[in-house]
Structure 1
Amino acid sequence: MPLSPDLLAILACPEDKGPLYNLEDEGVLYNPRLFRTYAVQDGIPVMLIDEATTVDAEEHERLMGLVEAGAIAPTFDAGT
């Protein structure tokens, strides 16, 4: 189940408060600054730091490749 655009517009990493990438096909929200994924279960993002998964450099590169290939925008513009 896709996340609503209104929800995505306000979602931020609970630790660094920065934007995330919604990797819908992977079922995760990704924070590339912390190399951390947050699962999306049944259309609900699990935004608990203790339940996040830290990825290694190889997985980070793969996920960022998906972001670039899909032209996936961050959940919000950190400059605003």
Structure 2
Amino acid sequence: MKSDDPLLKILACPIDKGPLTLLASEDALYNPRLKRRYPIVDGIPQLLPTSGEPDSE
């Protein structure tokens, strides 16, 4: 997934329904409000509430 992909404008966090940020270096989507990462596997965002990983920072 690239940062200019139109899909990024419609993807939302499955928990708070807010926008997500692409972390291209980690191939993941990030929710800064909840500090959770959602992996992108084979180009498909894994947006299940249980697939989100807490940010370690």
Same fold at TM > 0.5: yes
**AA in 1 matched with 2:50:** D
Residue 55 of structure 1 deviates from its aligned partner by: 1.4
Over the aligned positions, Cα root-mean-square deviation in angstroms equals 1.4
Aligned to 1:37: 37
Q: Matched residues in 1 for 2:24 and 2:41: separation?
A: 11
Number of equivalent positions: 56
* Structure 1 consecutive aligned stretches of length 4 or more whose deviation exceeds 3 Å: none
More strand by share: 2
**AA in 2 matched with 1:19:** P
Q: Matched residues in 1 for 2:8 and 2:35: separation?
A: 19
Percent identity between the two aligned chains: 50
| 1:17-76 Cα shifts (integer Å, max 9, x gaps) | 1111101111110001101000001110000111110113x2xxxxxxxxxxxxxxxxxx
Aligned to 2:10: 10
Give 1 or 2 for the bigger CA radius of gyration: 1
Q: Matched residues in 2 for 1:6 and 1:20: separation?
A: 13
The reply to whether residue 22 of structure 1 matches residue 22 of structure 2 is: yes
**AA in 2 matched with 1:27:** D
Q: Matched residues in 2 for 1:32 and 1:20: separation?
A: 8
Residue 9 of structure 1 deviates from its aligned partner by: 1.1
* TM-score when normalising by structure 1: 0.64
**Structure 1: stretches of 5+ with no match in the other structure:** 59-80
More helix by share: 1
